[in-house]
Chains A and B, each alone.
Chain A
Amino acid sequence: MKRLVVSILLSALLLSPLAGWAANNNDDWRNLSPKEKDKVLRNYQRWQHLPPEDKEHLREEWDRWQRLPQDRRERLKRRYEERERRDNR
Chain B
Amino acid sequence: MAAKELETMCKQFEEDLVLYYYGEIGDNEKYKLEQHLGHCVGCGRFIEDLHRLLPHIALPEELPQSFWDDYYRETVAKLRDQAEQKFYWRNLFAPMRIWMFPAFGTAVIAALAFGVVLSKGNLPSLYNQAQERIPSEIVTDTEQLEFFRSLDMLEALSSLEGLETSKAESHTI
Chain A interface residues (CB < 8 Å from chain B): 2-3, 6-7, 10-11, 14-15, 18, 21-26, 28-30, 32, 36-37, 39-41, 43-44, 46-47, 58, 61-62, 64-65, 75-77, 79-80, 83-84
Contact = CB atoms under 8 A, between A and B. Distances in A.
A79 B163 contact: yes
B132 A41 contact: yes
Given A25-B119, A29-B139, A41-B132, A76 B108 contact: no
B100 interface: yes
A18 B161 CA distance: 46
Given A29-B134, A30-B122, A76-B164, A23 B157 contact: no
Interface string B81-119: 000000000000011010010001001100100110011
Nearest to B158: A61
Contact of B140 (A26, A39, A75): A26
Given A15-B107, A29-B138, A65-B150, A22 B114 contact: yes
Secondary structure at the A interface, as helix, strand, loop or mixed, is helix
Interface of B is mostly: helix
How many B residues are at the interface, by size bracket?
35 or more
Nearest to B147: A62
B134 A61 contact: no
A36 B114 CA distance: 27
B153 to A, nearest CB: 5
A70 B89 CA distance: 69
Contacts of B164: 75-76, 79
A41 B118 contact: no
A61 B160 contact: no
B145 A29 contact: yes
